[in-house]
Structure 1
Amino acid sequence: MPELHIRTALLEDDTALARLDRAAWSPLHAVLPRPEPPYEPFFDDRFGPHDHLVAELDGRLVGYVKLGFPTPLLANAHVRQIQGFLVAEEARGQGVGRRMMRAVLAEARRQGALRITLRVLGHNTPARALYEAEGFVIEGVLPGEFLIDGEYVDDVLMGRSL
């Protein structure tokens, strides 16, 4: 049985996470075009290693979740937002996503958050099913918000209390 470990990202994870992000790119979850060389670093001035939890399966990075504030406003500092979530194709169906989701909920609570939100593309049925199974509910829909591969796709807003 492979061993799954979830931890806070490290600066030295940058290259592996960037590679994982590029390999997993799909119009199912990406609103930006497929990345092309020269590739940008994974971490940037806005989101660094401390904003990411990573999943390691037998020592290999197979996923990440990015946790941040939805706005810089003090009035909603009690809310965290999942701003990126990915599980490598070869690690899907093994409970990695569920374990990462539970870890990020615990991290948001540890940070003092009372609520957590996310946005998911309407056609991303697998992600939506995972979020609903972990207690997220649909709180709003922006119909046809994105044009992806020639089709208009809804932006679904989900949230839950912690």
Structure 2
Amino acid sequence: MSETHTHPAHSVRPSVLSDGTALGEIDRATWSTLHAVSPRPQPPYAPFFDANHRPEDFLVAETADPAGEVLLAGYIRLVPPTPLACNTHVRQIQGLAVADRARGRGIGRDLLRGAMAAARSQGANRMTLRVLGHNAPARALYASEGFVVEGVLPGEFFLGGRYVDDVLMGRSLAP
């Protein structure tokens, strides 16, 4: 992922290994049953990056604090959904998080748009994702960027004492 996107208050760039600590902090701070199906992370925390979650699979958003220090504000993970040659034209979003302090500034949208641009540059012509049915803010963001519901797995997860649908969404990346 080589593209960098800039917004007046933030920018989106490819992740590097040194982003791992800050991304782990964002990941833990934003954990919620609104979007997470895995248990809440507990210490000792695993590294954010590992063999299956490589820096090159992520784009990050940067913002500047009032003192001008550049801080990571969020991330999106973009990967092929399978290792199959017949599926190389598809990229899948497998994680999107924005730090609480940076919400409401268009960072999630810019990360999503950056991921679509990166997927196109990798030769993909389709993008997919999975989102929990009760995550209305994320579903609205995806829909506003052209994603449509392509399938629903009813009651796929039991979270917070209730069954939650797994919603499959996708879109073409054609211009």
CA distance in 2, matches of 1:81, 1:44: 18
TM normalised by structure 2 equals 0.90
Paired residue for 2:131?
120
Alignment of 1:52-71 (within 5 A): 52-58=58-64, 59-71=70-82
1:111 equivalent to 2:117? Answer no
Q: Provide Cα deviations, 1:37-83, integer angstroms capped at 9, x if missing partner.
A: 11000011012111000001111111000000111111111000000
In 2, are the aligned partners of 1:55 and 1:62 still within 8 Å (CA)? Answer: yes
1:1-162 aligned at under 5 Å gives the runs: 3-58=9-64, 59-162=70-173
1:120·1:128 contact (CA, 8 Å) conserved in 2?
yes
In structure 2, what is the Cα distance between the partners aligned to 1:119 and 1:90?
25
Structure 1 SS opposite 2:18: helix
My pick for the range that moved more, 93-102 or 120-129, is 93-102
Cα distance in structure 2, aligned partners of 1:23 and 1:127: 17
How high is the sequence identity, in percent, across the aligned residues?
63
Could you say what the CA RMSD is over the residues aligned between the two structures, in angstroms?
A: 1.1
Is 1:2–1:57's contact at 8 Å kept on the other side of the alignment?
no
Please, which runs of 5 or more residues in structure 1 have no aligned partner? none
Q: SS at the partner of 1:43?
A: coil
TM-score, reference length from structure 1: 0.97
Deviates more, 1:2-11 or 1:17-26: 2-11
> What is the distance in 2 between the residues matched to 1:21 and 1:10?
16
* In 2, Cα distance between equivalents of 1:86 and 1:19: 11
1 CA distance for matches of 2:86 and 2:172? 16
Deviation at 1:3, TM superposition (A): 2.5
The CA deviation at 1:2 is 6.7
